[in-house]
Amino acid sequence: MSAIGQRPSLIDRVSEIRNQSARIEELWSSAQIIEVGKGRIRSTSEGLLFLTANDAVGGERYFLGIDRTTDIAYFAWASGVVDSEVEDYLTLRELSGGLSPLHLEISMHAIALANWHDAHPHCSKCGAQTRVDLAGAARICDVDLSQHHPRTDPAVIVLIKDRADRILLGHQPVWPDGRFSTFAGFLEPGETFEQCVSREVFEEAGVRLSEIKYLGSQPWPFPASIMIAFEAVTDAPNEARPDGDEITEVQWFSREELKTAAENGTLLLPPVVSVARRMIEGWLGDVKLDRKKLAGETWR
């Protein structure tokens, strides 16, 4: 399988100007601005709704970067008044399948930043209130002068194959019937990514792995993760079993079995925007899915 997630960034984050307040203010005055808050983005089912600086008064500003092609600057604006009941504020999950690569990239960045800022209003050292610093890339405490930076939680996700080149997928109890996906879990302190892959898969599916190979990564701000994707092989496919807690069913699929099940509606695949879906479709190769026959997108 070819590597995934290797597309270059469409946005230049221009980190060297984040402490240049005059330059940031100049960019803000002509920027494309998206309103964010409570895990939502101001948008419609058609896509993002951009504001101008005149529309975005008060709140907090987070600089996202500059479009490498058009030189347009993008900002996120946390107005503090996002209403989850208002139709024009959608979650990234509701939006992502219909966004262009550029808009998906800035949305992932915006939501991840907004989630972090919202969760860290106070200094972890002295408890005083913090404020935005470095154009949104950090927060600073004016009492002890400590600077605080966003953290991202790494999680591994793995496509398990056997020697017959089938793949193993699992079902979580919170998902609708028929929904299966690849296996994933969070990195623990002191673990390598490869150790985490082996541990998570054995805990959830009961199989030992070899030939663990890195495929790529994907930001996943739900609320603050990055998915590190791998593929791996097991020599004991018959030992696969669900742990009964996080995974309640496991199933092996050949390419034709997966295509048939997905197209007749008995198998619900992960969303198109997810790295899990790209891993599965990468493994399918020349066996193409008829998207018109697939069930609709489901996140839960």
Domain extent, residue 59, equals 11-120
The per-residue pLDDT for range 222-281, each reduced to its tens digit, is 889 999 999 999 999 999 999 999 999 999 999 999 999 999 999 999 998 899 999 999
Contact criterion met (CB below 8 Å) for 220 and 229: no
The residue assigned the tokens 């470095």 is: 134
17 and 110, same domain (yes or no): yes
Q: What angle do CA 8, 136, 131 make, to 5 degrees?
A: 165
Last residue of a domain, one of 97, 120, 143: 120
> Is it true that the peptide bond before 237 is cis, omega within 30 degrees of 0?
no
Contact criterion met (CB below 8 Å) for 168 and 205: yes
State the DSSP code for 223: T
Q: SS3 for 63?
A: strand
The per-residue pLDDT for range 98-156, each reduced to its tens digit, is 889 999 999 999 999 999 999 999 999 999 999 999 999 999 999 999 999 999 999 99
Rounded to whole angstroms, how far apart are CA atoms 245 and 281? 27
Q: Is the dihedral of CA 130, 148, 55, 110 positive or negative?
A: negative
Share of the chain above pLDDT 90, in %: 83
Contact criterion met (CB below 8 Å) for 102 and 32: no
The answer to the question of residue 100 being in a domain is: yes
209 and 257, same domain (yes or no): yes
**What's the number of domains the chain is made of?**
2
The per-residue pLDDT for range 60-102, each reduced to its tens digit, is 999 999 999 999 999 999 988 876 666 788 888 888 778 899 9
Exposed e or buried b for every residue in 44-82, given b needs 16+ CB within 10 A?
eeeebbbbebeebeebbbbbbbbbeeeebbbbbbbbeeb
Per the prediction, the chain carries an average pLDDT of 93
